[in-house]
A and B are shown apart, each in its own frame.
Chain A
Amino acid sequence: MPEKFAADSVGLATPQTLQFDEPLQLRSGRTLPQYQLVIETYGELNAERSNAVLICHALSGHHHVAGYHSMDDDKPGWWDSAVGPGKVIDTNRFFVVGLNNLGGCHGSTGPQSINPETGTEYGPDFPLLTVRDWVKSQARLADRLGIETWAAVVGGSLGGMQALRWSIDYPHRLRHCLMIASASKLTAQNIAFNEVARQAISKDPEFHGGRYKEHNTIPKHGLMLARMLGHITYLSDDAMREKFGRELRSGELSYKYDADFEVESYLRYQGESFSEAFDANSYLLMTKALDYFDPSVDFDGDLVATLEAAQCRFLLVSFTTDWRFAPERSREVVDALVAAGKNVSYAEIESAHGHDAFLIPIPRYMAVFGRYMNRVAAELGLAIDTAIGSAMAKQERS
């Protein structure tokens, strides 16, 4: 709990709920008759409305990107390390928008919302959404906020897929696309992990075909297993070894089937807290959106042709030990962008943190990211914070 906020924190943040009454035609063929999006914004939109940055969240993210909701919060928003005054996405210069995607479980319309047609919760009847649908809803959000063109659309992992989708579907509505630890499509191995997670949830006896709320229960064990599996794949072998080694909880083996090793109790704890905070139907929906994403399907699998439409500049970043969204996946996108003649830069950051690295303020990562954002600001004639530049240069040297 912060006694007072750090100088580079956005401080207290208040979510807003926006109602949209125009039906949203979905990729699946179904329609959302109306919906709500929960958003959080930081910084000020300038008079030209040119300094807006959209943050797209990953699998378990939401609108609460930075700052705190109350003085009692233990933790700040999920990307507080990158968003704030003087941080890489500098809220002194940029107007930053975070949202909870449709189908999520943090306030935007999703499986836990009331279906206006039936008057009861959607639950498993909530339509499957795709990255394309999310981006469409985000474009309507931009309209609502009076933002014709984003200075940048930024996302990691599943968020990076949304940023890429923006560049293809709304090429004139963003100046920069920042795609971090992401891919233009999942590999079979990656889909396989998602399938195990989905099976864990849907085979939990408490799942009840997704209608667990009607039975006053939740598929806690399934969610827990899904998260434990996910967590393992987001870390690297080295990172786990370093963090836990073979440390024992009680100093000796119990010769019982309890959690002996630290890593076991850590995973159980992570899984358990996640299972209380995340909706199972939302988790299923998010993993399906990940699996389905492949913008090249509209162009017979030709990613170069897919990216012809893009007009923005791109920055891609990957991390050496990320095996869920390996550097090769980022390089495929970079190569296609180069072949399509688009402006792109790419950095491969040395890190032991696996996929999780994209949320960790690794000095070189922050330097590349920050300097790119400086460039975005410079192009728009936004004030350059020289203090940040020199701080970054110092970080890089260390």
Chain B
Amino acid sequence: MRADLDIIKEWIKPRSRVLDLGCGDGELLHFLQQNKQVQGYGMEINAGDISTCIDKGVNVIEQDLDQGLTNFQDKSFDMVIMTQALQAVERPDQVLDEMLRVGKETIVTFPNFGHWRARFYLALKGEMPVSKFLPYTWYNTPNIHFCTFKDFEALCRQKNIHIARRTVVNSKHRDHWITALWPNMLGEIAIYHVTT
């Protein structure tokens, strides 16, 4: 399982109602359905991913995150999750607001643009970072709003969003102690558990 999913699966309470925004191939929801009896729904727009969710028996709803979540009632989910999609939505701040409106709790994960490799690329090579983890070039990337841990936390402060838990992982070493020393420099993926 992807490193961030492997960690957040532990943060979901059994039998809770979960909405996974940009659920991809449904890996997380499938696990949660099988092992924690959650009532889960995934939201996705990629046709191939939707089909894979159907194969797995994961509830998947074709809906574009950028169109909002107005079809869901306030606090109608115990947990709203969005993994690795914050940087790809049109207005991350508005999506975050909506997640906190429909969910009692929220988990967000995103790639940290403050990671040393990204800094190195930009500072020394003078080019937008391209890596195995973020393989796109600037003109064709779906990732239009990169941010760093610091940026995200500044947004949370501004919006009075409470950070209940925070973890950073390196895509290979998971939550190594060195990463924890200087997360904004050494962490590749940020995992935030936030509430209002």
Binding site for B on A (CB under 8 A): 315, 331, 334-335, 338-339, 341, 343-348, 364, 367-368, 371-372, 374-375, 379, 392, 396
Contact = CB atoms under 8 A, between A and B. Distances in A.
Contact of A345 (B47, B48, B53, B73): B53
Nearest to B17: A341
Given A331-B71, A345-B61, A367 B51 contact: yes
A51 to B, nearest CB: 18
Contact of B51 (A339, A348, A368): A368
B60 A345 contact: yes
Interface string B35-76: 000010100000110110111011111110000000111001
Contacts, number: 51
Contacts of B47: 364, 367, 396
A344 B59 contact: yes
Given A331-B71, A338-B72, A396-B48, A346 B61 contact: yes
Contacts of B76: 339
Interface in B87-139: none
Contacts of A315: 54
B165 to A, nearest CB: 27
Contacts of A335: 71-72
A347 B72 contact: no
Nearest to B19: A338
Given A331-B71, A335-B72, A338-B41, A343 B59 contact: yes
Contacts of A396: 47-48, 51
Contacts of A343: 59
Contact of B62 (A346, A374, A379, A392): A346
A17 to B, nearest CB: 37
B103 to A, nearest CB: 13
Given A338-B41, A367-B51, 10 more contacts: A331-B63, A334-B61, A338-B72, A339-B76, A345-B59, A364-B47, A368-B51, A379-B57, A392-B51, A396-B48
A368 B17 CA distance: 25
Contact of B57 (A331, A348, A375): A375
Contacts of B71: 331, 335
Contacts of A338: 41, 61, 72
A315 B60 CA distance: 9
Task: Give the top 9 A-B pairs by smallest Cβ distance, nearest first.
Answer: A335-B71, A346-B61, A371-B54, A348-B62, A345-B60, A347-B62, A371-B51, A372-B54, A343-B59
Contacts of B73: 339
A364 B63 CA distance: 16
A19 B112 CA distance: 69
A392 B61 CA distance: 20
Contacts of A379: 57
A379 B57 CA distance: 9
Given A364-B47, A396-B47, A345 B54 contact: yes
A348 B47 CA distance: 10
